[in-house]
Structure 1
C-alpha cells in the first residue's frame, strides 16, 4: 500500500514545489507607462465601482492526479476564480475550505470520466467542468456565486 501511495505523494509534492518556485521566480508585471494606475480615466474607476459582480481568486491551485492501472500518468493543475455578488467576499472566504473540497470532488469525478484526457481544453470539454463547478458552488453558497472561472489549466504527463 505504501509503495503505491509514496510515488503519488512525491509527484504531487514535487509538482506543487515546482509550480510554487515558478510563481515566486517569475518577473513582476511591469507597465510601459510609469504610474499608469494613477493616470487611469475617472470613467474606468466608476465602471469598476458600479459593477454588479466582484471576483475572488482561490489562493491555491487545484491538483488532480490522472490514474491508469493504479498509477499516476498525469497531473492536472487548475487555477479558479469566482464571480460573486457585491459584498459576498467575506462569506465566500469563510466557506473557502468547503468550496475547495467540493470543487476537488467535482474535478476528481471529471477526471474519472475521462474529462482531462485527449483535447481536454476544447471549449465543450471545459464547459462541462465549468458548469459542474458552478452548480456545485451555487448549491453551497446560493446566489452569492455568479460563475466559476477557469483562469489557468495545465496537464503534466509522466
Structure 2
C-alpha cells in the first residue's frame, strides 16, 4: 500500500494536468471566425506611406551594446555617460541594421563624442532642447549609413556617472 499510493497520486496528477492542458489549448480560427463579418481586408499597397503615428508600421531594433562616452573637462575625464539606443526602422529593416551594425555604431559614437566635446552632457544634459538636438544628429548619422530605412533614433536609457 505504501508504494501504490504515491504511484496512484502521480498518475492522477498526470491525468488532471494533461486534461487541463487539453482543455486550455489554443483553438485554430477559420477565416469566418476571425472576422465574423466575412469581409477580407486587402493587403496594404506596397507604395503606401506609413502613418508616423501608427507604431505597428515600424520595427524597433535595439542596438546590442550600450554606448559609453567620456566627458572630458580640463584634460581629465570628469564623467561617463552611458546610453542605450534603439532604431525605428521600416518593416523588414532589422536585417539591414544588423548587417552594418559595426559601421553604424562607429558613426553614432562619433556623433556622441562630438556632442560631449561641445558640452552637450554638462549641466542639465537631459533638457528637452539638448535631447532633441542629440536625437536629430543621431538620426542624420544613422540615415547616412542606412538611408531612409531609419525613421527615428530612440534613446532608451541614459545615465551620467560623475567621477569623484
TM-score between both structures, scaled by the size of structure 1 = 0.68
1:1-158 equivalences in 2 (<5 Å): 51-158=56-163
After the TM superposition, which parts of structure 1 deviate over 4 Å for at least 4 consecutive aligned residues?
A: none
Gaps of 5+ in 2: 1-25, 27-33, 35-54
Secondary structure of 1:87's counterpart equals coil
2:11 aligned residue: none
Structure 1 distance, partners of 2:133, 2:121, is 11
Q: CA deviation at 1:67?
A: 0.7
Structure 2 distance, partners of 1:56, 1:140, is 15
Structure 2 distance, partners of 1:76, 1:136, is 19
Higher fraction of helix: 1
Gaps of 5+ in 1: 1-37, 43-49
Q: CA deviation at 1:51?
A: 2.0
Larger Rg: 2
Structure 1 distance, partners of 2:128, 2:73, is 25
Number of residues of Structure 1 aligned to a counterpart in Structure 2: 111
RMSD: 1.6
Structure 1 distance, partners of 2:56, 2:155, is 21
Q: Deviations over 1:33-86 (max 9, x none)?
A: xxxxx9xxx9xxxxxxx9210001011000000111221100000000000000
Structure 1 distance, partners of 2:124, 2:73, is 17
TM-score between both structures, scaled by the size of structure 2 = 0.65
